[in-house]
Amino acid sequence: MIEMKNFKLLVMGHLLFMTIGVLAQQTSKNRLFQTESDSLMIAYSKTTNIVFPFAIKSVDKGSTDILVQKAKGLENILQVKAAQRGFFQTNLTVVTADGKFYSFVLDYNEEFPQLNLTLNKTKPDGQEIYFSDEIINDQDIEEYSKLALYDKKKLRGQKESKYDIDFRLNGIFIRDEVLYYRIKITNNSKINYEIDQLRFFIRDTKKIKRTASQEIEITPIYILNDIDKIEAEAENIFVFALPKFTIPEKKYLAIQLMEKNGGRHLEEHVKNTKLVQVTVLPKL
């Protein structure tokens, strides 16, 4: 009888020890704390400007229905607008140079968007704008664009053709801190092609469904021969001056051409191997 009691006590002690161990493991787990997001109303026809207290280091948007870019030549101003009217609610996250994380929930509001916002101004009054380190001479960029336009060296195998429209990247050039992309658009159809937008993005090669859209837009500094319509059976050669960049592994450069009030959209994908074919422009 005494041995049976001792056995029961031993079993109960073992169970108590295991329970305490499980509870200890549970209490040692990391705890998640929710970060509150700010609500932001944006529009299709107006641009929202957000001034951050420090330079912007990372931007991630939850949908391709919104457009995001840093203001030209500035490091702490983010410009946001809708790429699609009446888009579904999405989100935007930004990380700044001080390591701070900002989260926004974006909604569409064409009539009353929030246009100019300054976040967490804790620094003393004075300079709020952070300029990029590069100082770019606009006159030189225009002249180098013309050199790129008339340069005889051509890039091979970089062409997209649909709807009787040829969309061809036929030259990549560089001078100092600026890349020059020469693009030829040929309209072989009987209908004029009105350009709604021609834009550049760095994107992931593979994208898992329902993950955030990892893309960075590259905004041109200057455009040579910038027209908004290619006449029927005509062509135009553009030169886009872009701030110097590279294409990382597992990413590509997307060049997107979209027709205004139409559906003849084309897109070229440029891999980093094409950048080895870059031509250095002679110094002015």
For every residue of 48-107, DSSP letters joined together read EEEE-SS-EEEEEES-TTEEEEEPTTBSSEEEEEESSTTPPPEEEEEEETTS-EEEEEEE
pLDDT score of 74: 75
pLDDT tens-digit map of 148-167: 999 888 887 677 888 999 99
Q: How far apart are CA 27 and CA 203, in angstroms?
A: 41
- Topology of the domain covering 38-118: Immunoglobulin-like (2.60.40)
Mean pLDDT of 258-262: 87
Of 5-14, 162-171, 254-263, the range with the lowest mean pLDDT is 5-14
* Domain boundaries defined on the chain: 38-118, 138-280
Q: How far is CA 52 from the centre of its chain?
A: 18
Angle of CA points 13, 15, 18, to nearest 5° = 110
What band does 119 get if pLDDT is binned at 50, 70 and 90?
confident
Any bridge partners for residue 216, and if so which? Answer: 202
What band does 30 get if pLDDT is binned at 50, 70 and 90?
low
pLDDT tens-digit map of 51-90: 988 888 888 888 888 999 888 777 788 999 999 899 999 9
pLDDT tens-digit map of 133-144: 454 567 788 899
In this predicted structure, the answer to whether residue 147 has a pLDDT above a threshold of 90 is yes
Number of Cβ within 10 Å of residue 88's Cβ equals 11
| 3-state SS class at 122 | coil
Please report, for the chain, how many H helices and E strands are present, in that order.
2, 19
Domains 38-118 and 138-280 share a fold: yes
Q: How far apart are CA 153 and CA 234, in angstroms?
A: 22
Q: How far apart are CA 89 and CA 184, in angstroms?
A: 37
Q: How far apart are CA 194 and CA 247, in angstroms?
A: 29
pLDDT score of 182: 94
Give the amino acid at 63: S
Q: How far apart are CA 236 and CA 238, in angstroms?
A: 6
Angle of CA points 73, 76, 78, to nearest 5° = 85
Mean pLDDT of 243-250: 82
Please state, for a pLDDT cut of 90, what percent of the chain lies above it: 24
What band does 262 get if pLDDT is binned at 50, 70 and 90?
confident
Residue closest to 181 by CA, chosen among 246, 278, 265, 249 = 278
Residue closest to 98 by CA, chosen among 141, 63, 56, 157 = 56
CATH class (in words) of the domain with range 138-280:
mainly beta
